[in-house]
């Protein structure tokens, strides 16, 4: 059993808080470690894990919780479900594994999840949502955050909903700036999130359409932090760029920024041209293989296609990338691309 990091708290963690969003099929331990290599201050989230599966001891789901305590802290496990007893059991499992916090998924609008009464369905059931928060808070001593959306079709009841969660004991609210009906269509609206922050005592983090460092600085506003998701797939370096941008903006406001600090930060985060990115791509593949064996290499295929998107002549090798079977094959493809 790994001991919990006693220093992590949403209320005291250094501002602005930068988070890697939980993304099903992407944010496994290998990817989280890559993100932390680039962005050391980032709070990383697991893929969403089923409370029902954890309550019944699913080995596959338990494997999803695996993390490197030396590299991945603060590490937050995201749980989804609707059964109170299973939420309690799952929360205790997460605490025993040594995670730094638990996030409750009340925002996933995927049809399969929503129709089961999980994820964003809880956004429409404030009573059960508050009960879940209270149950998890009473089950473990970990910080509990909630990730949700603006509402069904609008943000009309967002403040009321979040106040109930705060009263139930939520330590942080993470709000995606789209409605349930929007899913991932249209543009994220952060204005209701800024308004929400004025009504809550707990930290509020915004999410949605943060594609680069300029977006991050523009969207941060009065919030405690931002969460970045899809923009990191194929471009984990963006997290380092965002980290430097928002920290420098903070230091400039405090008249503390120094050229030496900025220089060090820039050297750490720049991916540069494609050749300079290769070592990190190979490191990612190596980690995936070490953690999952052959399955890790097969799961890397989607990352590889994303890494090479926009690279000159990459389309010539896409068919090979989606069929890669080993680290040796990946090395061979990269060598051909470079030479």
With both helix axes pointing from N to C terminus, report the angle between 294-307 and 327-338 in degrees, rounded to the nearest 10: 20
Report the length, in residues, of the chain: 339
Task: Give the chain's largest Cα–Cα span.
Answer: 61
Cα 69 from chain centroid?
Answer: 17
Residue 142, Ramachandran bin (φ over 0: left; ψ between -120 and 50: alpha; else beta): beta
CB 91 within 8 A of CB 129: no
> Residue 108 catalytic?
yes
Which one, of 175, 166, 150, 159, lies nearest residue 225 by Cα?
Answer: 175
The three-class DSSP label of residue 209 is coil
Which one, of 226, 224, 326, 221, lies nearest residue 282 by Cα?
Answer: 326
Cα 114 from chain centroid?
Answer: 20
Sign of the C-alpha dihedral computed for residues 270, 303, 184 and 178 taken in this order: negative
Per the structure block, which two tokens stand in for 247?
A: 């920290």
Pairing, β 49-50 against β 101-106:
unpaired
CA atoms within 13 A on the CB side of 336: 14
Catalytic residue among 19, 39, 42, 108: 108
CA atoms of 136 and 203, how far apart (whole Å) = 18
CA atoms of 234 and 232, how far apart (whole Å) = 6
Task: Please list the active-site residues.
Answer: 108
């Amino acid at each position: 059993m790994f001991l919990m990091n006693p220093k992590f708290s949403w209320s005291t963690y250094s501002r602005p808080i930068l988070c890697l969003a939980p993304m099903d099929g992407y944010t496994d331990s290998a990817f989280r470690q890559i993100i932390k290599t680039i962005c050391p201050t980032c709070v990383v989230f697991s893929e969403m894990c089923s409370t029902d599966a954890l309550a019944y001891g699913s080995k596959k789901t338990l494997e999803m919780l695996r993390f490197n305590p030396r590299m991945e802290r603060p590490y937050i496990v995201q749980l989804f479900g609707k059964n109170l007893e299973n939420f309690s059991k799952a929360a205790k499992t997460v605490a025993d594994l040594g995670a730094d916090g638990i996030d409750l998924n009340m925002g996933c609008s995927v049809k399969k999840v929503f129709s089961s009464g999980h994820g964003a369905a809880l956004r429409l059931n404030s009573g059960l949502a508050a009960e879940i928060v209270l149950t998890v808070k009473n089950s473990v001593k970990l910080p509990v955050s909630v990730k949700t959306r603006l509402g069904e079709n609008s943000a009309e009841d967002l403040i009321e909903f979040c106040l109930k969660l705060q009263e139930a004991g939520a330590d942080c609210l993470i709000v995606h700036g789209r409605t349930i009906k929007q899913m991932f269509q249209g543009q994220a609206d952060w204005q209701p999130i800024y308004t929400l922050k004025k009504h809550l005592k707990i930290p509020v983090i915004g999410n949605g359409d943060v594609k680069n460092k300029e977006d991050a600085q523009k969207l941060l506003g009065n919030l405690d932090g931002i969460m970045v998701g899809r923009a990191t797939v194929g471009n984990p370096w963006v997290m380092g760029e965002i980290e430097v941008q928002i920290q420098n903006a903070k230091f400039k406001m405090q008249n503390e920024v120094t050229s030496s600090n900025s220089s060090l930060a820039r050297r750490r985060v720049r991916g540069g041209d494609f050749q300079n990115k290769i070592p990190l791509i190979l490191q990612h593949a190596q980690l995936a293989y070490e953690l999952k064996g052959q399955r890790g290499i097969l799961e890397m295929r989607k990352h590889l296609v994303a890494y090479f998107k926009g690279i000159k002549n990459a389309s010539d090798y896409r068919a090979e990338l989606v069929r890669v079977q080993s680290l040796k094959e990946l090395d061979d493809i990269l060598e051909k691309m470079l030479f």
